[in-house]
Amino acid sequence: MGPKDRSVDGPSPIDTAGERSLTFCNRQGERGSKMLEATAAGIVITGREHEGLCRDLGGRTFVLVDDPRLAFARVLDRYFSVSWPAGISDDARVSEDAIIGKEVHIGPFCAVGRDVIIGDGSRLEGSVTVHDGVTIGRNVIIRAGAVIGTDGFGFNRNEAGALEKFPQVGGVVIEDDVEIGSNVCVARGTMADTRIGRGTKIDNLVQVAHNVQIGEDGLITSMVWLGGSVRIGDRCWLSPMVSVLNGVCIGDDVTVAMGSSVIRDVPSGQFVAGNPARPTIRKE
């Protein structure tokens, strides 16, 4: 809607955008209307409910879509994303036994151990450590400082009361399209593999203990702690500072509110909150 030959220099927030900027408005109702009226952006991606207002405003180009945030993200990815060149930094250390796929980026000061597999198009930013026997799928992003495949925290007390280590001989499997944030630690399994399912995104500063199984397309936000042998289903959202007790099973499509402590199994479709976490609203 509006001029179709308009060009822009780049994206900007809606409140600071100028006439050569691209932006989006994800707000509905009166608040969204006020944002659209106030912005000076040359091109605005917004929801279809604002069609009447956009016709009245004129002078700018409006792109009406069902999901403005998603559409804007796709435009950013196609036209403005930073590219990472394929190759291995001279400052990285990669074992001769590792299998590295096509178009993989391994940044400076990374360490990749023996028998590691890294799939096509994956990216390890600076100072990532990947221990022996880890499998990383295609198009995986692991951000700076993450440690993948370290030993899990397992000990037994012997007859004298001293601690003896329980050997951790499993591995880690990271499936395709996973993103792992900075300073995340993913421990190897005790015997079976720790596994992170396809498409799951893990924020910075998350602890994933040994034997954890995370399903597909989940969101694990900053400072989450997952105890040993935790099971998390598909499409779950764990808010910041959530802790999940060893061995707890969380079903599919579960949301856990900020700061909650999950000490019991959670059925699919629940919204849980509190310490200990309790169901509050059943998701539709």
CATH code assigned at 241: 2.160.10.10
- Residue 8 included in any domain: no
The parent domain of residue 149 ranges over 87-282
Do 152 and 247 share a structural domain?
A: yes
CA distance 242 to 201: 15
Residues 135 and 65 in one domain: no
In terms of domains, do 144 and 189 share one?
yes
Pair of tokens at residue 221: 């936000």
Q: How deeply is 15 buried, as exposed, middle or buried, from its count of CB atoms within 10 A (0-12, 13-18, 19+)? A: exposed
Catalytic-labelled residue, pool 50, 105, 131, 210: 210
| Domain contains 21 | yes
Q: How far apart are CA 80 and CA 183, in angstroms?
A: 26
146 in the same domain as 195: yes
Among 79, 95, 118, identify where a domain stops.
79
* Arithmetic mean of pLDDT, 190-204: 97
Q: Are the C-beta atoms of 14 and 21 separated by less than 8 Å? A: no
Is residue 4 included in any domain, yes or no? no
Of the residues 53, 79, 105, the one at which a domain ends: 79
134-162 per-position pLDDT tens digit: 999 999 999 999 999 999 998 999 999 99
Q: Which of 69-83, 91-105, 243-257 has the lowest mean pLDDT?
A: 69-83
Task: Tell me, yes or no, whether 1 lies in a domain.
Answer: no
The stretch 89-110 carries a mean pLDDT of: 97
Residues 61 and 137 in one domain: no
Considering the domain boundaries, does residue 9 fall inside one? no
In a domain, 3, yes or no: no
Residue 110 lies in a domain: yes
Q: Do residue 71 and residue 132 come from a single domain?
A: no
- Asked if 107 and 234 sit in the same domain, the reply is yes
Are 51 and 92 part of one and the same domain? no
Q: Does residue 271 register a pLDDT over 80? A: yes
Q: State both tokens at 218.
A: 């989940």
Residues 157 and 224 in one domain: yes
Domain end, chosen from 29, 54, 79, is at: 79
pLDDT at 184: 98
User: Residues 192, 131: one domain?
Assistant: yes
Burial of 155 (0-12, 13-18, 19+ CB in 10 A): exposed
Beta-sheet pairing, 141-142 with 123-124: parallel
CA geometry: angle 235, 241, 246, nearest 5 deg: 75
Whether omega before 276 lies within 30 degrees of 0, making that bond cis, reads yes
- Decide if 38 is inside a domain: yes
Asked if pLDDT for residue 235 goes beyond 70, the answer is yes
Residues 94 and 230 in one domain: yes
What is the full DSSP assignment across the chain? ---SS---SEE--TTT--TTEEEEE---HHHHHHHHHH---SEEEEEGGGHHHHHHH-SSEEEEES-HHHHHHHHHHHHTPPP---EE-TT-EE-TT-EE-TT-EE-TT-EE-TT-EE-TT-EE-TT-EE-TTEEE-TT-EE-TT-EEEEPP--EEE-TTS-EEE------EEE-TT-EE-TT-EEEPPSSSPEEE-TT-EE-SS-EE-TT-EE-SS-EE-TT-EE-TT-EE-TT-EE-TT-EE-TT-EE-TT-EE-TT-EE-S-B-TTEEEETTTTEEEEE--
Nearest to 180, CA basis, from 195, 166, 200: 200
Percentage above 70 pLDDT, the chain: 99
CATH of the domain at 53: 3.40.1390.10
Total number of domains in the chain: 2
Token look-up 């604002």 returns 50
Residues 45 and 126 in one domain: no
pTM: predicted TM-score of the whole model, two decimal places: 0.88
The Cα 209–Cα 229 span in angstroms is 7
pLDDT above 60: residue 282: no
210 noted as active-site residue: yes
Percent of the chain with pLDDT strictly greater than 90: 87
